[in-house]
């Protein structure tokens, strides 16, 4: 299958290119390489050293047959997107090409507005390019479980049966996102569904949990095939950050009481799920929503798990609570569905202990790199608009 990956240089985009090439798909992608700039802007660095575009492309071409087509360009430029689609004629488009950080979007007015303009515009451009060039193509748009927020009822996959004042309808499940970034993904979900309705195009909207992991089997031992792994307050997500903290003996940073529950999944599971979505496209005009995560965990539960596994390999770890920079519920009901991917054959990694252990071992070699940037581990971007480093509260 010809698959176009928007955001091919990112934490998920790059492994997806490697994964799909290993499975014999033809892959093209585009990226403006902004993730590298954003991480530098907030003082971070990838814990795992990664290659540049040319080195990556060379490595993937050595590992598999046909050329990987990796373009540098801006997805908010419609002429660029349309031209690429006319050339490559994708059968599927995976949209990972966005600014993906909640805290980064919360820095100030400029970061908020830039995030929403960028994300909304480039998602619209992909929708329009599909319509105008390859109307049969399947869009897999990455959303996030964060679009739903934390309602007091179960979270279905996109839609639910509603009874209201004695009448019934099947309606989109309400979205209550918790950052300007997450709001941008809600906007994209609304736009994506609308496109399928008016044009009869097809889309899978993936509400993905928080991904963790340092690699996938398809990367083998080639360091040039590795993906990035961030640990700063903006681009480092919970388990990835905890592992980096464990490596350098920094206390694991729980925000607030730590009972926030979220869906999580290993990088390999994310690849497996995206592969299943690609290989089982929706019908023309169909808009379907998949909740994509291995399981739901509380942040504290994960911190204790990392502490425990780190202890097994001789890394003593402390856990500390910090005042929460975010506006969010810290103790709440959370019960999302994830049946659609199971129905397609998704085999969740049941053993996240092994995944976390492998991460710690991968990261050990890069202890100096992480230690040299340890000041990015404590957040100072606050949801109330203030800029103040979180203090230890317990």
For the annotated catalytic residues, the residue numbers are 144, 181, 185
CA separation for the pair 94, 203 (Å, rounded): 10
Shortest CB 296 distance to its own copies, Å: 16
H or E, element range at 187: helix 180-199
Q: Give CA separation, 108 vs 145, 383, 387, in Å.
A: 24, 10, 10
Residue number with CB closer to its own copies (41 or 337) = 337
Angle, CA of 95, 195 and 9, to the nearest 5°? 10
Shortest CB 172 distance to its own copies, Å: 4
CA separation for the pair 354, 269 (Å, rounded): 13
CA-CA-CA-CA torsion sign (360, 218, 299, 176): positive
Residue number with CB closer to its own copies (21 or 326) = 326
**Residue 134's Cα: distance from chain center in Å?**
26
CA separation for the pair 199, 220 (Å, rounded): 42
Residue number with CB closer to its own copies (108 or 351) = 108
Count of CB atoms within 10 A of residue 117's CB?
Answer: 13
Residue number with CB closer to its own copies (143 or 178) = 178
Q: Are 60 and 38 in contact (CB under 8 A)?
A: no
Shortest CB 98 distance to its own copies, Å: 15
Shortest CB 209 distance to its own copies, Å: 21
Shortest CB 112 distance to its own copies, Å: 6
Tokens of 244: 């980096």
Binding site for its own copies (CB under 8 A): 78, 109-110, 112-113, 116-117, 120-121, 124-125, 128, 131-132, 151-154, 156, 160, 162-165, 167-169, 171-178, 180, 183, 186-187, 190-191, 194, 197-199, 327, 333, 383-385
Q: β-strands 138-144, 202-208: how paired?
A: parallel
CA separation for the pair 140, 93 (Å, rounded): 6
Residue number with CB closer to its own copies (127 or 211) = 127
Give the three-state DSSP class for 159: strand
């Amino acid at each position: 299958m010809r698959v176009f990956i928007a955001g091919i240089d990112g934490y998920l985009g790059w492994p997806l290119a490697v994964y799909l090439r290993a499975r014999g798909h033809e892959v093209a992608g585009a990226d403006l390489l902004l993730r590298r700039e954003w991480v530098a802007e907030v003082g971070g660095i990838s814990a795992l050293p990664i290659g540049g575009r040319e080195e990556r492309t060379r490595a993937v071409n050595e590992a598999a047959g046909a050329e990987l087509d990796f373009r540098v360009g801006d997805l908010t430029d419609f002429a660029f997107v349309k031209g690429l689609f006319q050339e490559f004629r994708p059968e599927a488009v995976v949209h990972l090409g966005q600014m993906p950080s909640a805290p980064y979007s919360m820095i100030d007015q400029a970061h908020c507005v830039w995030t929403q303009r960028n994300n909304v515009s480039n998602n619209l451009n992909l929708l329009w390019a599909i319509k105008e060039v390859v109307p049969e193509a399947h869009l897999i748009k990455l959303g996030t479980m964060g679009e739903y927020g934390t309602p007091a009822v179960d979270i279905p996959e996109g839609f639910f049966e509603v009874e209201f004042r004695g009448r019934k309808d099947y309606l989109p499940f309400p979205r209550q996102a918790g950052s300007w970034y997450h709001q941008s993904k809600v906007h994209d979900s609304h736009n994506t569904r609308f496109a399928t309705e008016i044009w009869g195009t097809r889309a899978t909207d993936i509400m993905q949990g928080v991904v963790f992991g340092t690699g996938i089997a398809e990367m083998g031992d080639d360091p040039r095939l590795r993906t990035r792994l961030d640990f700063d307050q903006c681009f480092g997500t919970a388990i990835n950050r905890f592992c980096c903290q464990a490596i350098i003996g920094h206390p694991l940073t729980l925000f607030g009481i730590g009972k926030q529950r979220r869906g999580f999944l290993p990088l390999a599971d994310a690849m497996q799920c995206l592969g299943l979505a690609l290989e089982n496209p929706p019908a023309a005009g169909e808009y379907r929503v998949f909740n994509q995560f291995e399981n739901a965990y509380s942040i504290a539960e994960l911190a204790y798990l990392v502490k425990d596994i780190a202890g097994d390999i001789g890394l003593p770890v402390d856990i500390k609570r910090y005042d929460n920079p975010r506006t969010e519920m810290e103790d709440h009901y959370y019960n999302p569905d994830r049946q659609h991917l199971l129905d397609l054959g998704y085999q969740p990694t049941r053993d996240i202990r092994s995944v976390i252990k492998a991460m710690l071992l991968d990261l050990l070699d890069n202890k100096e790199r992480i230690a040299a940037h340890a000041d990015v581990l404590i957040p100072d971007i606050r949801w109330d608009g203030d800029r103040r480093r979180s203090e230890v509260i317990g």
